Amino acid sequence: MESRNIRLAVIPGDGIGAEVVAEGLKVLEAVGTKIEATHYDLGAARYHRTGETLPDAVLEELRGYDAILLGAVGDPSVPPGILERDLLLRLRFTFDHYVNLRPVKLFPGVETPLADTSAEDIDMIVVREGTEGLYAGTGGAMRRGTPHEIATQESLNTAYGVERVVRYAFEKARSRPRKKLTLVHKTNVLTFAGDLWQRTVNQVAEEFPEVATDYCHIDAASMYFVTQPERFDVVVTDNLFGDIITDLGAAIAGGIGLAASGNVNPDRTAPSMFEPVHGSAPDIAGQAKADPTATILSVAMLLDHLGLRAEAARVEQAVADDIVERPAGGVGRSTHEIGDDITARVSS
Ligand code: NAI
Ligand code: MG
């Protein structure tokens, strides 16, 4: 593995995206991997300049890479939905990123808003389905703008799609010390989709006798994330519930500046894409105030996905060592100072 060249497509995107991605790349280089990084200019700036979000030719070119590193896209000047649907969701759907992996882990030394909670209490991973559910884009509107407007938005759940993500989650749970999987849904109200999810979990569970399974309604899970986060090890859930609950996860584990994610195609039929959970933060863009840690942790996930486990562990350890020395309140270093400090730890 040592001598392998990683072919990486980099989409810095908008706002703080470019600032945090630069630090992620620094760390990636310091870890000793040979990377061939190609930058792609996509996002709000390109949209304004050319009207393009994700040209077909670029999409096909991206398919040829080992992985994609994304900063963030979005700007208040672009109507909502355009970059989300035509760029981000298009990448996730086309490259079949059916697993959206979001670790929720409290590093020692990080402040959590939860009282009497320590690092051992928050160490879970949310496996969010990434290609179906309410994000599939089915539905429509008629009589728009009139008092008789009708709008529908349907949640699409296929046996195939649910099974593959549930199976992935069970495998993940089996590889972790606690070996526990919790399905989070709303089976009591969303009876059709919920039934499919619950039956699938029950069926796949038979192949994983060493994994303990549990179930929580999404509303109760939101409460338990705050009152009993230690309840969770691996959480598997649908696209929308996963989107929402992982923001709560980020909040309890030290904030959006630390939350990493991977849009993973476990079958490796297309490149997986790693990105911080946060957006382009226009309020602090260009001021070197953004915390690059979420991106650096996303780089660790990227290395892990490419089979570079030791390198991934080194990056995560460097982050942990850096975090433990951060002053309470988090004041101090600029984006590149944090990046430099973590890079130095990785290189040493
Ligand atoms: P946001 O995550 O960009 O910002 C929310 C708040 O968190 C802001 O106060 C921001 O300053 C702060 N923040 C975010 N990242 C930070 C970091 N690394 N260090 C320190 N503080 C940080 O979410 P918001 O404001 O809702 O969205 C801004 C734009 O980003 C929108 O256009 C939105 O559509 C887009 N967006 C893009 C995402 C992506 O590319 N995957 C994800 C979420 C939002
Ligand atoms: Mg979100």
- CA 281–ligand 1 middle distance (angstroms): 4
348 pLDDT tier (thresholds 50, 70, 90): confident
CB 235 within 8 A of CB 222: no
Q: Give the ligand whose atoms come closest to the C-alpha of residue 89.
A: 1
Q: Would you call 186 a catalytic residue per the annotation?
A: yes
Give the closest ligand to the alpha carbon of residue 74.
1
Ligand 1 centre from 46 Cα, in Å?
A: 19
Give pLDDT tens digits for 158-193.
Answer: 999 999 999 999 999 999 999 999 999 999 999 999
Q: Write down all domains in the chain, each with its CATH number in brackets.
A: 1-97+258-347 (3.40.718.10), 112-141+153-253 (3.40.718.10)
In the predicted structure, residue 231 carries a pLDDT above the cut 60: yes
Q: Say if ligand 1 is within 6 A of residue 257 CB.
A: yes
120: DSSP letter? G
Asked if residue 291 has its Cβ within 6 Å of ligand 1, the reply is: yes
Q: 135 catalytic, yes or no?
A: yes
Q: Is 195 a catalytic residue?
A: no
pLDDT tens-place string over residues 34-57: 899 999 999 999 999 999 999 999
ipTM of the complex: 0.97
User: What pTM, to 2 d.p., does this model score?
Assistant: 0.94
Contact present, 7 and 66 (Cβ < 8 Å)? yes
Q: Which helix (H) or strand (E) holds 161?
A: helix 159-174
Residue with CA closest to ligand 1 atom 4 = 281
80 CA to middle of ligand 1, Å?
14
The percentage of the chain sitting over the pLDDT mark of 70, rounded to a whole number, equals 98
Which of 195, 219, 267, 283 does the annotation list as catalytic?
219
| Interacting residues of 345 by C-beta distance below 8 A, sequence separation 6+ | 317, 318, 321, 322
